[in-house]
Structure 1
């Protein structure tokens, strides 16, 4: 089987979907006006729909509006998400190109434990068979971001322990014609151009959007003038057809196409501790060939129909095609980066006493993710019920090779042996999954009961041709896991008053096994939460405690986790694990007449503990009672702003506590020190539809360790100043 033969979208299937979407004719009005208004494709894309729904949601639920996103106008999703409690991020490249996001102690490795969606559709290149991948939707073009953790996640999967991030792309404007053009430029060659135009017609509406950003990079390769930055392009188009408002069955049909590409000269090679202290923004010359190249295509056809005043049906067919080649140094003088290779590269940059050998691996992979999903919304007065079904298929085609270079005494990389594609890794991981769910929101007086049940049946498979059958002529070695899982959840909110809501719930968490291990186990947990939400006048606040009790926790090997090449993709079971924590968020707006001062505080406290002892290539040697790596005990963010009639400014203080880079207890030289990073932004309206902006990331130019990768140090982004201009019409 090849990736070309793996295609759910036959012409016959598309014709059936389109025919069913348009099957209802336009006749007399049979629905109330308010039903027509509430029936929209846009409503199918969102988790919450509106802020009031967030307030009634049991568990931790947060919605970042367009105004929230524009406050700092980050292009880095990880900087955006630090305003939400219970979310952990791990910087890597400094620009957010490689997102590492975790929730409630799940770990951040390639965001593999979090369900990532764009417009309600799974966004990871292969969310079942290979979730730890190098694609994340371009955050800077998003209009809204929704984050849901805890007991309301029965409707979303396949990973239900951590939570859900749903990114809402540009919606079609309500006006006949509207748009925006914004430009930004800053240090280290940073530049951004973002523009969209669209409008709503009587029956046909559309929007077209372009987003491009780039930088030369803030690191310097030793003995080289080569840039270390990136260029990323993202193009989006949507076209929507809607019936007349007086149709018997009001309908909307929307087609979305999104294309992006990226070229980034990024690396996995960090620095030795000594070089980090003396030259933190340097890079070793052995990494000069490192480059990521990728392309992503998304096709999405969405249909919604108001069947009656009580029933709406929304259906989406989706197709995601992602290909990438991360061409990066894997060995120096035969040593892997985590086993002495980085030290050899560091020494050669100081004293070039002859040539060294450098292996550069072409981590070449192609991904496919596609499916069809439908949700029926039913209004039974006190019961608001959702019935959902999704059929999904995905795969990763891994076809890699290694090129050998000589790094000479003049620090030039000379190719000595070109690798043959397929001779390093040659396999396909694939999955097919059927998911069904029912979710009932039952209102009884001041109580709202949320009960959910999710069922998934999945088959996850690996076909491995080894390193000697590059043409895939022989039968591959095959491993397969078949999984059936039932995931219940139950949550309760109680409106103690109009301002105060108490909430709590329990949920079964799950993550599917890896295709690479025939004896791999599911990740399963029981998750509890309890808290309160209060909002009155200018104040709003939320506090929750959570407890995740794992029967078995997964760790999946990736290159970013310092796994050996032959172990990448393997799953390791940690067994019983306990995670507890506190999430707190509060905001208040002071009104001084012509000037307002909004403040916002976000705090997360987390305790992690392995409950048994074991050895693994992923976590190392672990004793019972050890803490997790890369989960800070405390993290806090404080934002204070000032706003007048035409101007506004905000300063953000982000504190990340000390965290471990490997499992253990107590102080260690391998721990990552606590840090405080401050961002500042100010804007001024030069006209009703024009604005200028001034931004500083890392205002105090804090030099900090972001992570320890391959036993080396990766540095965070330094002070970066930028200015921008925005025009709306």
Structure 2
């Protein structure tokens, strides 16, 4: 593991001393706060003030459908693409503006404004994702708005704000739900705020038996996930010479899920879409995650404030899952053998179950100085970050007999399948100026990153020999420019350009950077109960990366490798409309989200990731059209909302013309209703997939994964 010590708050002290001489005499101003520090929107009164594409899902937005699945939550944001896998959102696949969704590796994921992926530089594929159901707010930036955040700046940023310390002397909530397929959720928090000391404690547990059945077996297909969070904050008196806040956060989570990469053949999907093959009966994911975060803010003067965060994320997981059947990988015939055996088990077959055992570490320190020069709002930021992924894997061998029982025949030795450490170290600096010139706002930014990415690969489990070593050292300068012009009090025009970037993988010293120039042009309108926005975007790649993972059906020897696609062009339109019709005692809120996308490879090549590509082919897993429509009715004590989400036809392989082995267009409808039985108590009723649509979620390893069927849930919530 990484053992380099932190120089606690050193960066903060250096920046503070460099700028404190510029500070004006102390004055009574609005105090800098940790809450503003961990939000990417800071103290802005409205998202409309942000030049570029920006979306804010507030607590009331998140509570409307009360999803635990982050992918269902984010479909209300235009320009965001999701790819379901397990049906409950445990393996989040999120992309933006055509970047690709695989394990959200092309999107910067943050919790409380610090990097949340297990190893965002060394191994960005996020097999861990923060528990979305406990979040109080979700912020999404795309394009030029995301230029201050890295390391991946082409697509955008998702920043999730965890439970904040309440302002009351005592406040809390208890929320319980129960539903079909053994679904159950317990969510509760309690917190208090005194004159100088505040705290909050939160518990979130959810589970299900799963909606799939394993053929000829009573093995589980569900999950249990626990999440516990605690925060303590101390603040000085508001009239102190230098107002300060100190906050410590600790978060622990674990998961036990009987999840698999094995989908179904086309024939079995058509006949029994919610079945699983008996060869997957041992598949299981076990994870643990610990996050420690210390936040500090100080009001240096009426013009200067400084916010610093020190963070540490420790994540371990072992996805124990079937990788070969009769010596064939899942993507090269293993699934067909499993399917045939379940129909007619005339002989014993062999099953390899790989222990994808990995430990991750991500830690760093970051600080931002905010400077208020009236027309100029400046930010100066520094981040030093370290991360690593330690792979120590093995393969156990089983026999699956004619009675569909799996018997261990050979236990693998840990470290004999994959035995390597990928690591990343990065220093990032940025300066950002928001310059107001009458009705024109100019956002100009410059980001610099200096990175070292390395891989150590051992041939022996003991790691006693000298490992093979590869290293990538690089630095990059990323400029951005965004403009917002207020035509009227209600109408704002937006435009911007930025350089997008993603680093190469540690193990591929011949891979080039992923680089692009990204453009956007749009408008926002807001008047009374009506708001609308439309944005045209273009991502012009000089080089696009494809990262091989097991979920992408890559061969074992290529897992972790990176491939270059060369020039790629992705363009599209994002549109959002919201309106509330007032009928007096009843209101009818309406929300429409639409995304249109066009993708094109501009070069021809062959790779294990995309396969054979011809210039002019379209990218896989990017629907040309996505639409979501929400309509509701709200009374004094009751409310109901109906959501219809349409996803157009998608390719699963690069190509042009007629889509072969794609994912058909489908529409999923969700319904939720709630009633206030008392001022502080509410009961709810929800149905996911109201029409019980059976639809393909994805094709992995040449097989089909199915979406979640109709699921009814009842809930009760009390606030105090």
Q: Could you say which TM-score interval applies, normalised by the shorter chain?
A: over 0.9
Q: Report if the CA contact (8 A) 2:349-2:401 is conserved.
A: yes
Corresponding position of 1:7: 3
Q: How far does the alpha carbon of each residue in 1:500-523 deviate from its partner, in whole angstroms, 9 at most, with x for none?
A: 000100000000001111111000
Deviation at 1:8, TM superposition (A): 3.9
Contact 1:30 1:248 in 2 (8 A): no
CA deviation string 1:532-570 (max 9, x = no partner): 000011100000000110000000000000001110100
Deviation of the 1:14 alpha carbon: 4.5
State the secondary structure of the residue aligned to 1:338: helix
1:176 paired residue among 166, 169, 173: 169
2:638 corresponds, among 615, 633, 647, to 647
1:398 corresponds to 2:391: yes
Q: Deviations over 1:384-404 (max 9, x none)?
A: 000000000000000000000
How far off is 1:15 after superposition? 8.7
Match of 1:124 among 117, 137, 150: 117
Contact kept, 8 Å, 1:35 with 1:306, in 2: the verdict is no
Residue 152 (structure 1) aligns with: 145
Q: Distance in 2 between matches of 1:302 and 1:277?
A: 52
Alpha-carbon offset, residue 152 of structure 1: 1.9
Provide the residue aligned with 1:570 in structure 2.
561
1:104-119 superposed matches below 5 A: 104-119=97-112
- Please name the residue that 1:41 is paired with: 34
Residue 210 (1) aligns with residue 206 (2): no
Cα deviation, 1:582-624, whole Å, max 9, x if unaligned, reads 0000010000000000000000000000001000000000000
Partner of 2:224: 231
CA displacement, residues 702-724 of structure 1 (integer Å, 9 cap, x when unaligned): 00000000000000000000000
Equivalent pair of 1:465/1:474 in contact (CA under 8 Å): yes
For the 8 Å contact 1:21–1:303, the answer to whether it is kept is: no
Q: CA offset at residue 53 of structure 1?
A: 3.8
Task: Give 1:666 deviation, angstroms.
Answer: 2.1
Query: Aligned equivalents of 1:595 and 1:399: distance in 2?
Result: 59
Identify if the C-alpha distance between structure 1 residues 635 and 15 changes in structure 2 by more than 3 Å, giving closer, same or farther. closer
Matched, 1:509 2:504: no
- Number of residue pairs the alignment of both structures matches: 714
Are 1:92 and 2:85 counterparts? yes
Correspondence for 2:21: none
Question: What is the alpha-carbon distance in structure 2 between the residues aligned to residue 401 and residue 670 of structure 1?
Answer: 33
Secondary structure, counterpart of 2:362 in structure 1: strand
- 1:603 corresponds in structure 2 to 594
Residue 701 (structure 1) aligned to one of 684, 692, 699? 692
Q: SS in structure 1 opposite 2:239?
A: coil
1:626-649 Cα shifts (integer Å, max 9, x gaps): 000000000000000000000000
Name the counterpart of 1:559.
Answer: 550
CA distance in 1, matches of 2:15, 2:572: 46
Separation in structure 1 between the aligned mates of residue 337 and residue 26 of structure 2, nearest angstrom: 73
Residue of structure 2 in register with 1:677 after alignment: 668
Specify which of 704, 708, 711 is matched with residue 717 of structure 1. Answer: 708
The CA distance in 2 between the partners of 1:587 and 1:677, in whole Å, is 20
What SS does the aligned partner of 1:519 have?
Answer: coil
Tell me how far apart the structure 1 counterparts of residues 251 and 270 of structure 2 sit (CA, whole Å): 43
CA distance in 1, matches of 2:505, 2:626: 31
Deviations 1:659-715 (A, max 9, x none): 000000122330100000000000000000000000000000000000000000000
Q: Deviations over 1:127-148 (max 9, x none)?
A: 0000013100000000000000
Q: Could you tell me which residue of structure 1 aligns to residue 448 of structure 2?
A: 455
Following TM superposition, by how much is the alpha carbon of 1:22 offset from its aligned partner in structure 2, in angstroms? 13
Show CA shifts across 1:462-513 (max 9, x none).
00003xx111011100010011100000010000000000010000000000
Is 1:446 the counterpart of 2:416? The answer is no
Structure 2 matches for 1:511-530, cutoff 5 A? 511-530=502-521
State the match for 1:412 in structure 2: 405
CA contact (8 A) 2:11 2:382 kept: no
Q: What do the CA deviations read for 1:112-159 (whole angstroms, capped 9, x no partner)? A: 000000000000000000001310000000000000001122210000
> How far does residue 57 in structure 1 lie from its aligned partner after superposition?
1.1
- Measure how far apart 1:378 and its partner are: 0.3
3-state DSSP of counterpart to 2:63: helix
Corresponding position: 1:478 with 2:469: yes
Q: SS of the residue aligned with 1:563? A: coil
CA–CA distance in structure 2, aligned partners of residues 18 and 210 of structure 1: 32
Mapping of residues 306-705 of structure 1, within 5 Å: 306-466=299-459, 469-705=460-696
Asked if residue 102 in structure 1 is aligned to residue 83 in structure 2, the reply is no
Deviation at 1:290, TM superposition (A): 0.2
> For structure 2, which runs of at least 5 residues remain unmatched after alignment?
18-23
State the distance in 2 between where 1:693 and 1:568 align. 45
CA contact (8 A) 2:11 2:366 kept: no
Q: Distance in 2 between matches of 1:612 and 1:397?
A: 35
Task: Determine the C-alpha separation between the residues in 1 that align with 2:176 and 2:146.
Answer: 37
2:10 and 2:604 map into 1 onto residues whose CA distance is: 54
Structure 1 unaligned residues grouped into runs of 5+: 24-28
| Range with greater deviation from structure 2 (237-246 or 42-51) | 42-51
Aligned-pair CA distance for 1:225: 1.3
1:87-135 per-position Cα deviation (integer Å, ceiling 9, x unaligned): 0000000000000000000000000000000000000000000001310
C-alpha RMSD over aligned residues:
1.5
What is the distance in 2 between the residues matched to 1:664 and 1:603? 24
| CA distance in 2: counterparts of 1:21 and 1:602, whole angstroms | 42
Counterpart of 1:251 (choices 238, 244, 250) is 244
- Residue 506 of structure 1 contacts residue 527 of structure 1 at CA under 8 Å; is this kept in 2? yes
* 2:264 aligned residue: 271
Contact 1:154 1:439 in 2 (8 A): no
Q: Please give the TM-score of this superposition, normalised by the length of structure 1.
A: 0.97
Shift of 1:20: 10
SS of residue in 1 equivalent to 2:256: strand
CA contact (8 A) 1:152 1:452 kept: no
Q: Counterpart of 1:151 in 2: which secondary structure?
A: helix
Give the secondary structure class of the aligned counterpart of 1:98: coil
CA contact (8 A) 1:458 1:483 kept: yes
Secondary structure of 1:609 counterpart: strand
CA distance in 2: counterparts of 1:360 and 1:79, whole angstroms: 31
Q: Pick closer, same or farther for the CA change 1:645–1:353 going to 2, 3 Å.
A: same
2:601–2:614 CA contact under 8 A, matched in 1: yes
Q: Distance in 2 between matches of 1:154 and 1:653?
A: 33
Separation in structure 2 between the aligned mates of residue 20 and residue 517 of structure 1, nearest angstrom:
36
Tell me how far 1:372 sits from its aligned partner: 0.3
Query: Structure 1 CA distance, aligned partners of 2:11 and 2:298?
Result: 13
SS of residue matched to 1:289: coil
Which residue does the alignment assign to 1:26?
none
